[in-house]
Amino acid sequence: MTRLLSLVLVLLMLVSAPAAWAAPVPERYLCDGDGLEATLHNGAVDASEIPNSEAGTVPGAFIVVQWRGLSLQLPRTNNAGIPSYTDGRWWWQAVDPDRPIFKEYRGSVKTYACSR
């Protein structure tokens, strides 16, 4: 009986687990003439009392941007409104999902034109 119960529990875990194991799907863009992939990850919530959870993101969320040989993991800011992501140098926000804003701060601000 114990083996049967263990087998049933394992089968239930396998049936329900694929959704939890599914990798986030990257969005693909063309930014400044080069392909870019942006993958949103809803990370662990580290401060649930912070009220800005617009667009389903919460504190702890981050985006991974792969572009021109770079792989950038940009943490979600706590700015109000549409989620934005920055590490202090790179900044990403998709107010218009077809034309996200992608900037680099390096002494001055460089904005890269992006579109789907």
What does 39-61 look like in DSSP terms, one character per residue? EEE----S-TT----GGG--TT-
pLDDT of residue 42: 79
Is the whole model's pTM more than 0.75, yes or no? Answer: no
Please indicate whether residue 83 or residue 109 has the higher confidence score (pLDDT). 109
Percent of the chain with pLDDT over 90: 54
Mean pLDDT score, 21-44 = 88
Q: In the predicted model, is pLDDT for residue 80 greater than 60? A: yes
pLDDT category of residue 61 using cuts at 50, 70 and 90: confident
Cβ atoms < 10 Å from Cβ of 76: 23
Of residues 110 and 61, more confidence is placed in 110
Residues in the chain: 116
Structure tokens at 37: 């992939």
Percent pLDDT > 70 in the chain is: 66
